[in-house]
Amino acid sequence: MQTYHVLIIGSGFGGQCAAVNLLKAGIEDFRILERRDFFGGTWCQNTYPGAAVDVPSPLYSLSFAPYPWTRLFAEQAELHRYTQHVADRYQLRDKVQLQALVERVEWDDEQRHWRVYTASQGTFCAAFLINASGPLSQPLVPSFEGLQRFAGRQFHSNAWDHAYDYRDKRVAIVGSGASAAQIIPALAPDVAHLHVFQRTPHWVLPRADRRFGRFQRWLLGIKPAYTLLRWLIYWQFESRVIAFKYSRIALKLVQQKALKHLKQQVPDEHLRQTLTPDFTFGCKRVILSSTLYPALSRDNVSVHGREQGITSLDETGINTVDGQHIDLDLIVWATGYDATDGAIPYPVRGKGGALLADAWAHYPRAYLGTSLPGFPNLFMILGPNTGIGHTSALFIIESQMNYILGCLRTLKAQALRSIEVRQEAESAYTRMIHQQMQRTVWKSGGCHSWYQSRSGHVIALFPGFSFSYYQLTRRVKLADHILS
Ligand SMILES: Cc1cc2nc3c(=O)[nH]c(=O)nc-3n(C[C@H](O)[C@H](O)[C@H](O)COP(=O)(O)OP(=O)(O)OC[C@H]3O[C@@H](n4cnc5c(N)ncnc54)[C@H](O)[C@@H]3O)c2cc1C
């Protein structure tokens, strides 16, 4: 059994941020367990053509690790390089155990520590466990009849097969969310025909991307300049919450802007109708793209709406609701992730052997989206209701680390060993979250989105300004916790 003070599960930005913060707090006795054979999470795994961030990179980066980005919205290759830069700068590579797929974790009541069982690297144990397994790292593929019978190639956007040459092939892309919106413009010019299967269209706004010049990149390397730019972008993006939660007028105005964008870029009226959402702007994640609509308007691209949706697959392609059979060489599943009910992708047993799945039977919930009654010394990065639809997820991760380090420091100062949130505190917090959610467009905008769990509760998002979340995480409220 390999023993550490802290174990971190996952080596994406969540795991990296946790690791650097532990090092800064003088805690060196920790290990990162990563299921893949590479370090880095989202931006090392998602290598599909066109992959890029949709929050400006100076904001979508760790506050302590400035970087001379080459463009405003970094592409995947540069985000990958940034991840490796963070790993090198903070010497994280020695701290990672690769190919360590965590299969289950259990709290040992007697020893008061966590046991972590991996598929092929043995058992680990630690006083504290930080789950950073990623909110968008468990891909979903719908279970269509005949899925396995298809004799062509098929893969999820999350596991792009670069050995497959899609040029001049007949390709289907299933899905119309953020990943599909990036893949479609990248593929369309090179394939023989692209069939886009869209269950619901999304609202799209233009993407004001730009390259940074030499001087700007030099400035980005200087911490105060970098921080100032982050701050400016932060407040610009934060103001979007006003529309999403507080002002229907602001929401209407942005929706008009999106409709204008559609009208300007899609001359064909029938296609325009197919691409016009029937829910309020913002209810689903808004797509930022200036290249999606021109790609969808190409002669070699067909958009299949709900009335031409998929019924089944066979050896040669896809059968549709309106009786068509579409011959295909490749199917790309851009069908997203289990971002709610599968928030922790392995069984967790807490005090007395209680299963987390039972605590979450109705819907996933956690105090500050981070800790749970009955599960001492366990912290979740980007757990329930911590996602953010309007700004950088990394801001939330850094806020969570304030709370987690606050807990560890408190225990150390009082020479205690475990901290557990009180049931009343978690219940009150969860009540507050779902009350606040009622007012948002994510709950009342007339759509069903991946933000919602099977129960219909919006789980993937925090219902307000990200600075409100930051405020909540700044200090540990001792009265909300049991320390022992
Ligand atoms: C295509 C895509 C685009 C995105 N774009 C944006 C964006 O523009 N802006 C934004 O704010 N956010 C975006 N996100 C969300 C993104 O997930 C977060 O911003 C952030 O990268 C999450 O970091 P993480 O470390 O929590 O998760 P991840 O980066 O997903 O890392 C989780 C790690 O945990 C590992 N892991 C999972 N399960 C196990 C296990 N059982 N055992 C061991 N290891 C395990 C995974 O292999 C992975 O390496 C995007 C996500 C995707 C998928």
406 in the same domain as 278: no
- Determine, yes or no, domain membership for 381: yes
* Helix/strand/coil for 378: strand
Q: Are residues 194 and 316 in the same domain?
A: yes
Q: Tell me what pLDDT residue 242 has.
A: 81
Q: Residue 193 and residue 298: Cα distance in Å, rounded?
A: 10
> Would residue 231 count as lying in a domain?
no
Q: Do 407 and 474 belong together in one domain? A: yes
Residue 76 lies in a domain: no
Cα 258 to ligand 1 centre (Å):
28
* Residue 85 belongs to a domain: no
* pLDDT of amino acid 340: 74
Q: How far apart, in whole angstroms, are the C-alpha atoms of residue 13 and residue 40?
A: 7
Q: Are residues 156 and 305 in the same domain?
A: yes
Residue 219 in any domain: the answer is no
Six token digits for residue 189 = 């010019």
- Are residues 165 and 26 located together in one domain of the fold? no
Q: What is the pLDDT of residue 156?
A: 98
Residue at 433 is within a domain: yes
197 shares a domain with 168: yes
Of 318, 333, 348, which marks where a domain is finished?
333
Which residue, chain included where needed, has tokens 């005949």? Answer: 146
Distance 93 CA to ligand 1 centre (A): 18
Contact between 303 and 271 under an 8 Å Cβ cutoff? The reply is: yes
Which of 333, 360, 391 is the endpoint of a domain?
Answer: 333
pLDDT of the residue at 454 = 82
Taking every pair of C-alpha atoms in the chain, what is the biggest distance, in angstroms?
70
CB 195 within 8 A of CB 172: yes
Question: 386 with 296, same domain?
Answer: no
Q: Is residue 80 part of a domain?
A: no
Domain match, 102 and 172 both: no
Q: Which domain holds residue 23?
A: 2-39+92-137+338-483
168 lies in the same domain as 272: yes
d(CA 72, CA 58): 7
CATH code at 314?
3.50.50.60
- Ligand 1 residue neighbourhood (C-beta within 6 Å): 9-15, 33-36, 41-42, 46, 53-55, 60, 100-102, 132-137, 179, 345-346, 381-382, 392-393
Atom of ligand 1 nearest to the CA of 53: 8
- Out of 7, 34, 42, mutate this one to test ligand 1's pocket (max ligand atoms within 8 Å of CB): namely 42
Residues 247 and 282 in one domain: yes
Per the structure, the count of domains in the chain is 2
pLDDT of residue 388: 84
- Same domain assignment for residues 17 and 121: yes
Q: Which pLDDT belongs to residue 1? A: 86
Same domain for 125 and 101: yes
Q: What is the pLDDT along the chain (484 residues), one digit of tens a residue?
A: 899 999 999 999 999 999 999 999 999 999 999 999 999 999 999 999 999 999 999 999 999 999 999 999 999 999 999 999 999 999 999 999 999 999 999 999 999 999 999 999 999 999 999 999 999 999 999 999 999 999 999 999 999 999 999 999 999 999 999 999 999 999 999 999 999 999 999 999 999 999 999 999 998 888 899 999 999 999 998 888 887 777 788 888 889 999 999 999 999 999 999 999 999 898 889 999 999 999 999 999 999 999 999 999 999 999 999 999 999 999 999 999 987 777 799 999 999 999 999 999 999 999 999 999 999 999 999 999 998 878 899 999 999 999 999 999 999 999 999 999 999 999 999 999 999 998 888 887 888 888 888 888 888 889 989 999 999 999 999 999 999 9
Determine, yes or no, domain membership for 58.
no
Choose one of 300, 333, 366: the last residue of a domain: 333
